[in-house]
């Protein structure tokens, strides 16, 4: 039986992917910190879904969960979907949240990949997928830590896609734009090309099936972001510094205004 472990599989994109793989008859493992979310979304008892109340920032706990899930059938696919952002955009970062973001968005993905590779390397096959963001292509105002961690995910996956290919392991990275998930509910600014989590999940599922190394969507928003990425940086800073585009506030107090 094919098996997939999804971090952050109780909400947002991870949840949609878990539902899709369940419908395809896969054995599915999900982890999250909120057991109640799991029960709300998977009320019907299913023999092929397993929940692990694990924080992805806890390296040893996450490793134990993935290894437990993979016995005795092995692991076909791991999707590192767990992530967090800022509830508000501010010019002065919330450093405590930023440090937590590094542990969840970047290190959490590395911990998941590390554990999965302990299974996939001996079996000589497997697929790793990291969920990044269009925000990883540029440093966007007000979300310094988020852009930094998502950029790290892109480059980490890109390197592993070359390093692990001779071992029979495929690595892909997915960079969505604005998706209607709990993560974007607090955004108090326009979100062009906003897409439902279900539609995003189907796009990601198809890209995983095709074993794409890099998936960027929505198309037009992705083109715009990548054009911004190749601009001379002094031009980019000038463009992104305009009030029409820069939604970050001066400080935390201004956020409430």
Q: What is the reported pLDDT for 241?
A: 85
Q: Considering only residues 215 and 188, tell me which one the structure prediction assigns the higher pLDDT.
A: 215
Q: What is the reported pLDDT for 256?
A: 39
Domain that holds residue 89: 3-255
Which pLDDT tens digit goes with each residue over 38-80?
Answer: 888 887 557 789 999 999 999 999 999 999 999 988 999 999 9
Confidence of residue 186 (pLDDT cuts 50, 70, 90): low
CATH number of the domain to which 8 belongs: 3.40.50.720
Q: How many domains does one find in the chain? A: 1
Q: What percent of the chain clears pLDDT 70, i.e. is strictly above it?
A: 91
Nearest to 15 by CA among 102, 81, 75: 81
Q: Please list, in sequence order, all residues whose beta carbon lies within 8 angstroms of the beta carbon of residue 175, skipping any fewer than 6 positions away.
A: 132, 133, 134, 136, 137, 150, 154, 214, 215, 216, 217, 222
Q: Please list, in sequence order, all residues whose beta carbon lies within 8 angstroms of the beta carbon of residue 230, skipping any fewer than 6 positions away.
A: none
Mean pLDDT of 190-209: 89
Confidence of residue 83 (pLDDT cuts 50, 70, 90): very high
Torsion of CA 186, 191, 195, 201, to 10 degrees: -60
> Could you write out the DSSP letters of every residue in 18-73?
HHHHHHTT-EEEEE-S-HHHHHHH--S--TTEEEE---TT-HHHHHHHHHHHHTTT
Which pLDDT tens digit goes with each residue over 151-164?
Answer: 999 999 999 999 99
Q: What is the reported pLDDT for 253?
A: 47
pTM of the model: 0.91
């Amino acid at each position: 039986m094919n098996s997939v472990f999804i971090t952050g599989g109780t909400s947002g994109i991870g949840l949609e992917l878990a539902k899709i793989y369940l419908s395809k008859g896969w054995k599915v493992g999900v982890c999250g910190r909120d057991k109640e979310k799991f029960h709300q979304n998977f009320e019907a008892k299913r023999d092929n879904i397993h929940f692990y109340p694990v924080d992805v920032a806890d390296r040893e706990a996450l490793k134990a969960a993935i290894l437990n899930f993979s016995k005795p059938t092995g692991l076909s696919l791991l999707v590192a979907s767990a992530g967090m952002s800022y509830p508000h955009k501010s010019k002065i970062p919330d450093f405590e949240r930023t440090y937590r973001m590094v542990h969840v968005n970047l290190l959490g993905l590395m911990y998941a990949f590390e554990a999965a590779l302990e299974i996939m390397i001996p079996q000589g096959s497997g697929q790793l997928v990291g969920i990044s963001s269009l925000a990883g292509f540029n440093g966007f105002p007000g979300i310094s830590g988020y852009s930094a961690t998502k950029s790290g995910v892109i480059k980490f996956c890109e390197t592993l896609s070359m390093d692990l290919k001779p071992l029979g392991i495929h690595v892909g990275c997915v960079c969505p734009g604005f998706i209607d998930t709990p993560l974007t509910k607090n955004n108090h600014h326009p979100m062009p090309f906003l897409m439902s989590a279900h539609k995003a999940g189907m796009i990601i599922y198809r890209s995983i099936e095709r074993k794409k190394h890099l998936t960027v969507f929505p198309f037009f928003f992705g083109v715009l972001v990548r054009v911004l990425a190749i601009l001379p940086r002094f031009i980019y800073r000038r463009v992104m510094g305009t009030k029409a585009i820069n939604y970050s506030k001066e400080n935390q107090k201004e956020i409430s205004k």
